Structure 1
Amino acid sequence: MYNVIGVRFKKAGKIYYFDPNGFHIEHDSCVIVETVRGVEYGQVVIANKQEALSAFDICQKKVIEHGLDMKLVDVEFTFDRNKVIFYFTADGRVDFRELVKDLASIFKTRIELRQIGVRDEAKMLGGIGPCGRMLCCSTFLGDFEPVSIKMAKDQNLSLNPTKISGLCGRLMCCLKYENDEYETAKEQLPDIGEMITTANGPAKVVGLNILERVLQVELINREKVIEYTWEELLEEGVVSAQTTD
């Protein structure tokens, strides 16, 4: 099988393909290659993964032969080729002892089957999120942080699962990014329905723009809705009262 690597010489530039000449070259490695323009320095953006692809196909066939309820996700060879690691997802525990024996007899090396979660699967495979950008988990996130539905509620986002879930089917990691700012703002600002005192008289909070610290208040005596920034209310000595139903 003929192996190639993809090399890029400029950021976001065109990818050029080269024969690795028998060298084992990893993704993101820096290489010096001979081009039509002369000797150039570039970065590997497509690594030589033919062995892993072949191992993936073999394992997939064996999984079907053994009738195992598991989804093969990725395959990795250790640098010294002393171990092959197969990553998979499954709803529960899987008895893959016979599968390991078959794979060990084929590859003549140590075999490890590692069960991962759906978020790890997305991180490995990559893809494009609902925002139109490459997945955060596959580009820069090191570890997964807990994400809760409360974060979506605090940010006034739609609670429709299709709107706040990533490709993995779990809540999007980006819900966490601005969560601390929202929590700080919510601690400072009055709640919707709360009565406050303004320079124009008593008012009821009817709307909030949490990130910009802007409140919409309905003046009780004038039946008029106006906007205040939180700084303006502090200057006026705003006093919070009780929450109304």
Structure 2
Amino acid sequence: MTEIVGVGFVKASKTYYFDPEGKEYKMGELVIVETARGLEMGHISIENRKVEDSEIVAPLKKIERHATKADLAKYRENLNKRESAMKVCEEKIRNHKLEMKLVDAEYTIDGSKVIFYFSAEGRIDFRELVKDLAAHFRMRIELRQIGVRDEARMLGGIGICGRPFCCSRWLHDFQPVSIKMAKQQNLSLNPSKISGSCGRLMCCLNFENKTYQELRKGMPNEGEQVVTPDGPGKVTAVNLFEGSVNVRLFEKSKDKDAKETPLSQEVRTYFKQEVRRTDKKSHKKSRNEQNNVDPETMKELEKLTRD
């Protein structure tokens, strides 16, 4: 077991562990810590506690100090300089005719470096831009390319649910999201309905996915042939939450030359335990019919999973 404190940052919803070195820290206290971006000011989000060594990425960095009045003044000054720094950078980007979108700018707490965050479709050769910016600001310059998901997290906004983006409020890490999750939940495979403002599949598709996986175990799909206590039939609808399926039973055909066995007009409801799936071939066929999507839409859906 190792003693840690958790530190959070304004531009990152994730909490990072630091070594308190035996000192006691209270929730909300402002501290100065060293990160990959340099010295930053953060807040204590987890008070002193012991965690398993397996939860720690060694070595733990130490907290430099409590934030002073001078640090707070410098932080406010950096915030005030942010807008002008972005204007300068945007002008330089236009001058160099680079296909990149500036998202944000951030000064380190000691004022030794300014970081510019940008998004772009591919790799950008910004070496000349860095030289130009360094000559203007006379400090270290870092340009960091971020994905569209990180851009949405950084800028924030309101989702189609009417609430602030999960990524900008509480979601610590981005988890993989796939089209299979949308299919699993019987959602429309319309890209405009299952993609977020970032243009990728909505993160919330992953929130209930495990529940749907458990509910789907042993359940037939729409269009699948099953055997019921009243005879064989075809599934017309599936209710995962009730654990039941609607089935239309096969009827004896009067036409001997008929290629397909007719279905009764009556729809009967059975629980999962009452029906037996027939064979894997009909199972695969029903899944393919259920997930039938035109090629153009499928290409568009595949793009949504890329960062």
Same fold flag (TM > 0.5): yes
Indicate which of 262, 266, 269 corresponds to 1:227: 269
Structure 2 counterpart of 1:148? 178
Structure 2 counterpart of 1:239? 276
What percent identity do the matched residue pairs reach? Answer: 54
> Does the residue aligned with 1:137 lie in a helix, a strand or coil?
helix
CA distance in 2, matches of 1:108, 1:159: 51
Structure 1 counterpart of 2:109? 79
Q: Give the number of the structure whose residues are more often helix, by fraction.
A: 2
CA distance in 2, matches of 1:228, 1:28: 55
> Does the residue aligned with 2:122 lie in a helix, a strand or coil?
coil
Decide whether the 8 Å contact of 1:87 with 1:116 is kept in 2.
yes
CA distance in 2, matches of 1:128, 1:74: 19
Q: Which moved more, 1:138-147 or 1:189-198?
A: 189-198
> Does the residue aligned with 2:144 lie in a helix, a strand or coil?
strand
Indicate which of 92, 112, 123 corresponds to 2:122: 92
Indicate which of 166, 176, 183 corresponds to 2:213: 183
Q: How does 1:102-113 map to 2 (within 5 A)?
A: 102-113=132-143
Structure 1 counterpart of 2:150? 120
Aligned length: 200
**CA-to-aligned-CA distance 1:34-82 (integer Å, 9 cap, x gap):** xxxxxxxxxxxxx942121221111111111222211100111122222
CA distance in 2, matches of 1:168, 1:145: 15
Q: Which moved more, 1:208-217 or 1:83-92?
A: 208-217
Decide whether the 8 Å contact of 2:41 with 2:109 is kept in 1.
no
| 2:94 matches 1:64 | yes
What is the TM-score when the length of structure 2 is the normalising length? 0.59
What is the TM-score when the length of structure 1 is the normalising length? 0.72
Structure 1 counterpart of 2:167? 137
CA distance in 2, matches of 1:97, 1:196: 64
Q: What amino acid sits opposite 2:277 in the alignment?
A: S
> Does the residue aligned with 2:278 lie in a helix, a strand or coil?
strand
CA distance in 2, matches of 1:26, 1:156: 45
Decide whether the 8 Å contact of 1:181 with 1:211 is kept in 2.
no
Q: Which has the higher contact order (CA 8 A, sep 6+)?
A: 2
Q: What amino acid sits opposite 1:226 in the alignment?
A: R
| 2:218 matches 1:159 | no
Structure 1's 145 and 84: CA in aligned 2 closer, same or farther, altered over 3 A?
same
Structure 1's 109 and 212: CA in aligned 2 closer, same or farther, altered over 3 A?
farther
**CA-to-aligned-CA distance 1:189-213 (integer Å, 9 cap, x gap):** 1222333343444443211122442
> Does the residue aligned with 2:217 lie in a helix, a strand or coil?
helix
Decide whether the 8 Å contact of 2:177 with 2:203 is kept in 1.
yes
Give the Å deviation of 1:128: 0.9
CA distance in 1, matches of 2:269, 2:175: 36
**CA-to-aligned-CA distance 1:97-129 (integer Å, 9 cap, x gap):** 222122212222211001111111111101111
CA distance in 2, matches of 1:198, 1:66: 70
Structure 2 counterpart of 1:20? none
Structure 2 residue runs without a partner (length 5+): 1-39, 46-74, 252-263, 286-307
CA distance in 2, matches of 1:201, 1:92: 58
Give the Å deviation of 1:28: 7.1
CA distance in 2, matches of 1:59, 1:223: 68
Decide whether the 8 Å contact of 2:222 with 2:238 is kept in 1.
yes
Structure 2 counterpart of 1:170? 200
CA distance in 2, matches of 1:68, 1:187: 51
Structure 2 counterpart of 1:16? none
Give the Å deviation of 1:27: 8.3
Decide whether the 8 Å contact of 1:72 with 1:89 is kept in 2.
yes
> Does the residue aligned with 1:207 lie in a helix, a strand or coil?
strand
Give the Å deviation of 1:26: 6.5
CA distance in 2, matches of 1:199, 1:78: 71
